[in-house]
Amino acid sequence: MQTFTPDDLEEDILADLMEEINELYESSEQTLIELELRPEDNELQRALFRSIHTIKGDLGLVNFSPMIPLLQHVEDLLDYLRKGQVAYTSTMSDLVLLTMDRVKAFVESVMANGKAEYDDNLHNQLVLAIGRVTPENTSEHEKRLTEAVLLLNPALDIVTDEDDPQNVQIKPPTLAATGIPKDISSEKKQDILFFRDLMQTIERRSNYWSGRGDRIAKLAMYINDVAENPIDEDQLAVASYVHDFGMAFMPLKLLHKGDSLSDIEFNLMRSHVYKSARLLEHLDQWDMARKIVMQHHERTDGTGYPLGIKEDDICEGAKLLAIVDTYDAMTHPRAHNEDNVLSKKEAVIEINRSAKGQFSMKWVRYFNQGMTALLTRGQ
What pLDDT shows up at residue 163? 43
Looking at the structure, tell me whether residues 135 and 220 fall in a common domain.
no
If asked whether residues 267 and 366 sit together in one domain, one would say yes
Residue 177: per-residue pLDDT: 56
Question: Is residue 378 very low, low, confident or very high in pLDDT (cuts 50, 70, 90)?
Answer: low
Residue 96 lies in a domain: yes
Reported pTM = 0.61
| Residue 136 in this model has a pLDDT that exceeds 60 | yes
Q: In angstroms, rounded to a whole number, what is the distance separating the alpha carbons of residues 297 and 270?
A: 9
Residue 102, SS3 per DSSP? helix
Query: Do 100 and 199 sit in the same domain of this protein?
Result: no
3-state SS assignment for residue 159: strand
Per-residue confidence band for 66, with pLDDT thresholds at 50, 70 and 90: very high
Residue 316, in any domain of the structure: yes
Asked if the structure places residue 179 within a domain, the reply is no
pLDDT of residue 377: 59
Among the candidates 136, 170, 204, a domain finishes at 170
156, pLDDT greater than 70: no
Which one has a higher pLDDT value, 85 or 104?
85
**Do 147 and 204 share a domain, yes or no?**
no
Residue 3 has pLDDT above 80, yes or no: yes
> Both 11 and 134 in a single domain?
yes
Task: Report helix, strand or coil for 118.
Answer: strand
| Domain annotation covers residue 244 | yes
For residue 180, being part of any structural domain is answered with: no
Of 20-24, 28-32, 75-79, 131-135, minimum mean pLDDT range: 28-32
- Give the model's confidence band at 321: pLDDT under 50 very low, under 70 low, under 90 confident, else very high: very high
**204 and 67 in a common domain:** no
| pLDDT bracket for residue 159 (50, 70, 90) | very low
Instruction: Give the pLDDT score at 100.
Output: 87
**Percent with pLDDT over 90 in the chain:** 46
Q: Is residue 361 part of a domain?
A: yes
Share of the chain above pLDDT 70, in %: 91
Weakest mean pLDDT among 42-56, 65-79, 322-336: 322-336
Domain boundary among 170, 197, 215: 170
H helical segments located in the chain: 11-37, 42-61, 68-82, 90-113, 120-131, 141-152, 186-203, 212-226, 233-242, 252-255, 263-270, 272-278, 287-295, 316-331, 344-353, 361-375
In this prediction, residue 166 carries a pLDDT of 43
**pLDDT tens per residue across span 267-287:** 888 899 999 999 999 999 999
Q: Which of 90-94, 342-346, 353-357 has the highest mean pLDDT?
A: 353-357
Residue 178 lies in a domain: no
The parent domain of residue 195 ranges over: 186-375
Least confident residue range of 25-29, 87-91, 205-209, 299-303: 205-209
- Place 358 in a pLDDT band, splitting at 50, 70 and 90: very high
- Distance from C-alpha of 365 to C-alpha of 320, rounded to nearest angstrom: 11
Do both 92 and 239 map to the same domain? no
More confident residue, 264 or 258: 264
Total domains in the fold of the chain: 2
Within this chain, do residues 34 and 101 fall inside the same structural domain, yes or no?
Answer: yes
Cα–Cα distances (Å) from 215 to 9, 177, 178, 311, 325, in that order, read 48, 9, 8, 25, 9
Three-point CA angle 57, 60, 61, nearest 5°: 90
Inform me whether the pLDDT recorded for 162 exceeds 50: no
CATH number of 367's domain = 1.10.3210.10
Looking at 151-155, 199-203, 301-305, which range is the least confident one? 151-155
Domain boundary among 144, 170, 196: 170
pLDDT, averaged across the chain: 86
Residue 79: give its domain's CATH number: 1.20.120.160
Return the amino acid letter for 67.
M
Q: Are residues 191 and 164 in the same domain?
A: no
Which residue, 290, 253, 255, is CA-closest to 269? 255
Instruction: Tell me, yes or no, whether 96 and 231 share the same domain.
Output: no
Residue 175 lies in a domain: no
Range 308-328 average pLDDT: 97
| Same domain, yes or no: 207 and 267 | yes
- pLDDT single digits (tens) 195-246: 988 888 888 877 777 888 889 999 999 999 999 999 999 999 999 999 999 9
- Whether 164 and 222 map to the same domain: the answer is no
